[in-house]
Structure 1
């Protein structure tokens, strides 16, 4: 995991809004994003969600009501959220949080296309976890 890019914006404030289910992040360049927990969970950078290479992503559904059970700092470059569904292996770097915040509209559109292509509903429960040959879980 690479550290911060030189001159990259860093968070000046991170606020968890439990009721509205958003993570508010203010950055050093003046940007301020309200990132829904659902979006963070869908696009978690963990192997459990991203798979182990292009095309291996696992479509996440049923996450509309997911909440944050915790948020731990990782060094001075990232946070690791614990989601209410038990998922806690994603490490969100400042760059990645900035990407999620600044690209929300496109990410939601991409998610809608992926749901449509898979023929599943956003609120469909995730299939039970089976063995998928990944030793890291």
Structure 2
């Protein structure tokens, strides 16, 4: 089975959503906050299971640029400075298809951490990644 390919990609700054259409007829409206919270970057995902960094304070985040990477991905730059996530078409499709489930997981992680969604991110004290 081949992965659906994007047919359209539109940044909606006012509603803070990335609209992406695929050749299987699916069209997803992905909130910038969801994209930022689930960035595939090592800074957010860590370097293995259990190393994820819970993202907070991203409700009002915007995407300032969206750069194509080959024919397989895009790399957004968010207005909070985050720009290291490569979002493959497959990853964007999964974010769209699983959006409700991912929001629920995010809200559960916030609850378990005792953190508010709008709380500012804690200041970074050294990084295990070494690239900032």
Classify the TM-score, shorter chain: over 0.9
Root mean square deviation of aligned Cα: 0.8
1:8 maps to which residue?
3
Q: Deviations over 1:50-74 (max 9, x none)?
A: 0110000000000000000100000
Secondary structure of the residue that 1:100 maps to in structure 2? helix
2:107 maps to which residue?
112
Residues 27-66 of structure 1 correspond to what in structure 2 (within 5 A)? 27-66=22-61
Provide runs of 4+ in structure 1 moved above 3 Å: none
Q: Which runs of 5+ in 1 are unaligned?
A: 1-5
- For residues 35 and 111 of structure 1, what CA distance do their matches in structure 2 show? 15
Residue 72 in structure 1 maps to residue 67 in structure 2? yes
Secondary structure of the residue that 2:68 maps to in structure 1? strand
1:130: Cα distance to partner? 1.5
1:136: Cα distance to partner? 2.8
- For residues 88 and 135 of structure 1, what CA distance do their matches in structure 2 show? 15
- For residues 125 and 45 of structure 1, what CA distance do their matches in structure 2 show? 20
Residue 81 in structure 1 maps to residue 60 in structure 2? no
2:126 maps to which residue?
131
- After TM superposition, the score normalised by the length of structure 2 is 0.98
Q: Deviations over 1:86-107 (max 9, x none)?
A: 0000000000000001100000
- For residues 30 and 75 of structure 2, what CA distance do their matches in structure 1 show? 15
Q: Which runs of 5+ in 2 are unaligned?
A: none
- For residues 133 and 102 of structure 1, what CA distance do their matches in structure 2 show? 32
Secondary structure of the residue that 1:33 maps to in structure 2? strand
